[in-house]
Structure 1
């Protein structure tokens, strides 16, 4: 008696991450053991901060001392290369140092093309303006980017969008990041137009990663769930 062949099991459809899940996965937002945000790891650690801040700071120091644009550019680029070699020597990821070196090269190209040291900082203005615009648009369309970054880390997925208080908190947190980029433009653009290269360089260093990290930490605190309210809602679903 011939047995009927057992039908093959239908494979489960492969889960493909959505666009917002992809944003969260690539955000590199790290948590500490207590479940809070690890700001230092999120911004790349001590090495990441050095790679971001020091080349621009060295550029302005060398320019202030020598008044030579060429030497300032060479020093900045050389330092970017040193950081990249350091990454290679320690067998760590090259992404941050490579992106940092590319950024330095773009800034150097703009300054060399114009022949004016202050133009070294022009690409940064466009980056700040771009982030500011993206953050503001995300708030207006009720998809605040901080919610997309923090929501999956907190296992909220996208449920926070259906809760007015959570949506409001994530919107406020995103406005906080908007304030960082807006403040950079308000402070640094007048320095640029008045040709205050040294002051601009110092402001760029101080208002870069340190200010961003501080705002990110406050954004995490502002947007954290109110545990008492959530527990009450779970106990009384009809509330």
Structure 2
């Protein structure tokens, strides 16, 4: 039997599912400008998260044009409107936004995602001939996001916590801190509540076939609620992870 030491290098440790998920969520948050370690002001963070003026236009205009076109062409006698025109204008705007980004060689991921979502919704609505079916993909998205956030909070693996843990370089160590676990639990619950509120308000309008009210409330419950919640989340996370004083600041104290 040989006494020579085993020089075989140890196999690298495989990342856990929580590490992979945290890295994915954290990476997405960082690309959106949501990195608590950057020291940006809350206003700048929210502005970056919504994509600035262009992001607002890309997010709001297609839906707004659909609602306006539907309302202007709506015939109370037949209780119908010019669906192809309304959808065509909406999808056309999404195509223009995506094309402009591609021509300018800018990141078009968000615009392409919006174009795909708009196109799928329009195709479904044209297939059924019902304007309200244009909002079904949005319902599915809200159900998926809300359920994921709610379940993650209940089982103690808040998706907010996983993302922040990756951004702050502590992985899942936050789960050993009762205060952080409690805060990330409630942040996930609040975000899940936003998606649930959209469904509670909008689904009854869908079954009532009130396309104008449904489209209007979708816009109102979009960025106007998303932006403040981003700000609140940012402020709470920054309070959990106060920045260390710079050497020059420490020396002056």
TM-score range, shorter chain: 0.7 to 0.9
The C-alpha deviation readout for 1:130-152, integer Å capped at 9, x for no partner, is 11110011011111011122223
RMSD: 2.6
Aligned residues: 222
User: Structure 1's 11 and 26: CA in aligned 2 closer, same or farther, altered over 3 A?
Assistant: farther
Determine whether 1:45 maps to 2:52.
Answer: yes
Q: Is the 8 A contact 1:151 1:158 kept in 2?
A: yes
1:16-55 to 2 correspondence within 5 Å? 18-27=20-29, 28-30=31-33, 31=35, 34-35=39-40, 38-55=45-62
Q: Does 2:123 align with 1:109?
A: yes
Shift, 1:36, TM fit: 5.1
Instruction: Determine if contact 2:64/2:219 at 8 Å carries over to the other structure.
Output: yes
1:139 aligns with 2:146: no
Query: 2: CA distance between counterparts of 1:107 and 1:59?
Result: 12
Distance 1:78 1:22, change over 3 A: same
User: Residues 11 and 137 of structure 1: is their aligned pair in 2 closer, same or farther, counting only changes over 3 Å?
Assistant: closer
Decide whether aligned partners of structure 1 residues 197 and 164 sit closer, same or farther in structure 2, where only a CA change above 3 A counts. Answer: same
Instruction: State the Cα distance separating 1:93 from its structure 2 match.
Output: 1.3
2: CA distance between counterparts of 1:120 and 1:74? 12
Match of 1:79 in 2: 93
Q: Which of 189, 193, 200 is the aligned partner of 1:179?
A: 193
Distance 1:156 1:29, change over 3 A: farther
Residue 22 of structure 2 contacts residue 171 of structure 2 at CA under 8 Å; is this kept in 1? no
Q: 1:52 to 1:22 in 2, by over 3 A?
A: same
Question: Tell me, which stretches of 5 or more residues in structure 1 are unaligned?
Answer: 1-9, 231-239
1:198 equivalenced with 2:212 (yes/no)? yes
Q: 1:169 to 1:105 in 2, by over 3 A?
A: same
1:56-90 superposed Cα distances (whole Å, 9 cap, x missing partner): 11111011112200100110111011101110222
Q: TM-score, normalised by structure 2?
A: 0.79
- SS in structure 2 opposite 1:143? coil
In structure 2, C-alpha distance between the alignment counterparts of 1:201 and 1:71, rounded to whole Å: 16
Q: Distance in 1 between matches of 2:168 and 2:40?
A: 9
Contact residue 62 and residue 71 of structure 1 kept, 8 A: yes
CA distance in 1, matches of 2:172, 2:241: 18
For 1:45 and 1:12, the matched residues in 2 are separated by 45
Q: Structure 1-normalised TM-score?
A: 0.83
Q: Is 1:168 equivalent to 2:179 in the alignment?
A: no
Moved more, 11-20 or 122-131: 11-20
How far residue 210 of structure 1 moved from its aligned partner, in angstroms, is: 2.9
Change (3 A) 1:226 1:138: closer
CA distance in 2, matches of 1:60, 1:81: 18
Q: Equivalent residue for 1:64?
A: 71
Query: Among residues 78, 84, 109, which one is paired with 1:95 in the alignment?
Result: 109
Deviation (angstroms), 1:206: 1.5
Structure 2 unaligned blocks of 5 or more: 1-8, 74-80, 245-253
